[in-house]
Homo-oligomer: A and B are copies of this chain.
């Protein structure tokens, strides 16, 4: 059988760049600007690691589907007739047309609109008109994409052999998220924001709060601005916030202990892990209940069987493309998807209890306010960084101590590139 040409071979340029990387400093410019590096990223990261792309709540019934673009690849996430969430390449096996052109919907079978080739929801080819007697339908099923579920979050991997350390992610993170019962949620809102920056700048921006002060007035009503700063390095002007943080943490731990909820920080971000992640339950500032401008609940109906609003945020981060906050009243998730060397999609989804009633239990504008404006503020910041690193006057600079997780992200990324480039 014919095979497609693979992606462009990693060029010597990319190899040299990776070899030259100096820990503790930002990456060199081509990592954020060059087409060759972007192609290598698609191979090394986006085609090999587990990616967060959707929620089970988006495909509740058999036949429900969403289509997600991971760079140039379109993936169909759908629930099959046995209730299993599957991933399929959204490419007809006949002449390559897109099978589904909608962003979401519900189908009985999958019918390509070009020549009516018809596939079952498990991807098998049911019908292709006008074929010779020796045509073997069994050879032309839609190509499968691996799927893994983490307490209601849908991860896919485009590789033939996905990294199996995803088991650690499932085992470790699930206990933090399960009390929020994502299986019994619905999507209250979903916002796609196109940021004018390389995907790595988007991720790096998310891994530090060094920029929060002055940039994120709405977020820092509840998000402690000391995030990422070692306790012994908190600057004098943040001392008061830090005291509040310590008190709120102590209260949160008592609440969690009473209910058996895990809250400890688990950091599994080592560069050698292909499925790297971090999880921790942390207190919020203000009323401490939710992401609102005073910290009080955004949704009257609590998630799952939770019986107390003040549970802070169970925050998860997964390399390379997701972060998540589970609160007592809603879950907000962020999926980062590359659109090109200097354009990136950030998809933000707010989930609430499936029985919560809009206009009664919650107001969408109020629910989404904090992260809508925070995302827009971040979008302006990363565009400013993208403009600067594109300048021939740019040279890599030093990370501050509170940017430790940015360094961790960068080191993880470089390890993936090294694996990809290894002979």
By a beta-carbon cutoff of 8 Å, the part of chain A in contact with chain B is 1-5, 7, 13, 16-17, 20-22, 25-26, 28-30, 42, 47, 71-74, 89-99, 101, 113-116, 128-132, 135, 140, 143, 158, 204, 210-211, 213-215, 229, 233, 235, 381, 384-385, 387-398, 400-402
**Nearest Cβ on chain B to A405's Cβ, whole angstroms:** 14
Q: Which residues of B contact A7 (CB under 8 A)?
A: 392
Q: Which residue on B lies nearest to A74, using beta carbons?
A: B391
Q: Which residues of B contact A17 (CB under 8 A)?
A: 5
Besides A72-B391, A96-B394, A130-B229, 4 more A-B contacts (Cβ < 8 Å) are A71-B392, A115-B210, A130-B233, A158-B392
**Nearest Cβ on chain B to A209's Cβ, whole angstroms:** 10
A4 close to B115 (CB less than 8 A): no
**Nearest Cβ on chain B to A357's Cβ, whole angstroms:** 38
Q: Which residues of B contact A400 (CB under 8 A)?
A: 94, 115, 128-131
A25 touching B2 in the complex, CB below 8 Å, given contacts A73-B391, A94-B397, A384-B97: yes
Most B C-beta atoms less than 10 A away, residue of A90, A143, A396: A396
Q: Which residues of B contact A26 (CB under 8 A)?
A: 95-96
A210 close to B5 (CB less than 8 A): no
**Nearest Cβ on chain B to A232's Cβ, whole angstroms:** 12
B29 close to A395 (CB less than 8 A): no
**Nearest Cβ on chain B to A271's Cβ, whole angstroms:** 18
**Nearest Cβ on chain B to A188's Cβ, whole angstroms:** 30
- Given the complex of chains A and B, what is the CA–CA distance between A71 and B391 in angstroms? 9
One of B101, B115, B130 near A235 (C-beta < 8 A): B130
A28 close to B5 (CB less than 8 A): yes
**Nearest Cβ on chain B to A215's Cβ, whole angstroms:** 8
A395 close to B98 (CB less than 8 A): no
**Nearest Cβ on chain B to A206's Cβ, whole angstroms:** 13
Chain A contact residues: helix, strand, loop or mixed: loop
Q: Which residues of B contact A401 (CB under 8 A)?
A: 130-132
Q: Which residues of B contact A211 (CB under 8 A)?
A: 114-115
- Given the complex of chains A and B, what is the CA–CA distance between A21 and B4 in angstroms? 10
B91 close to A393 (CB less than 8 A): yes
**Nearest Cβ on chain B to A10's Cβ, whole angstroms:** 15
- Given the complex of chains A and B, what is the CA–CA distance between A269 and B363 in angstroms? 66
- Given the complex of chains A and B, what is the CA–CA distance between A210 and B97 in angstroms? 14
**Nearest Cβ on chain B to A208's Cβ, whole angstroms:** 9
- Given the complex of chains A and B, what is the CA–CA distance between A421 and B93 in angstroms? 30
Q: Which residues of B contact A384 (CB under 8 A)?
A: 97-98, 101, 113-114
- Given the complex of chains A and B, what is the CA–CA distance between A72 and B393 in angstroms? 9
B13 close to A5 (CB less than 8 A): yes
- Given the complex of chains A and B, what is the CA–CA distance between A90 and B388 in angstroms? 8
A29 close to B2 (CB less than 8 A): no
Q: Which residues of B contact A99 (CB under 8 A)?
A: 388
Instruction: Give 24 CB contacts A-B under 8 Å.
Output: A1-B22, A1-B395, A2-B20, A4-B28, A5-B30, A7-B392, A47-B392, A89-B391, A91-B393, A95-B385, A95-B397, A96-B388, A96-B397, A97-B388, A98-B384, A98-B387, A98-B388, A113-B381, A113-B384, A115-B400, A130-B233, A130-B400, A130-B401, A140-B398
Q: Which residues of B contact A94 (CB under 8 A)?
A: 397-398, 400
Q: Which residue on B lies nearest to A42, using beta carbons?
A: B392
One of B2, B71, B91, B391 near A90 (C-beta < 8 A): B391
Q: Which residue on B lies nearest to A32, using beta carbons?
A: B96
**Nearest Cβ on chain B to A50's Cβ, whole angstroms:** 17
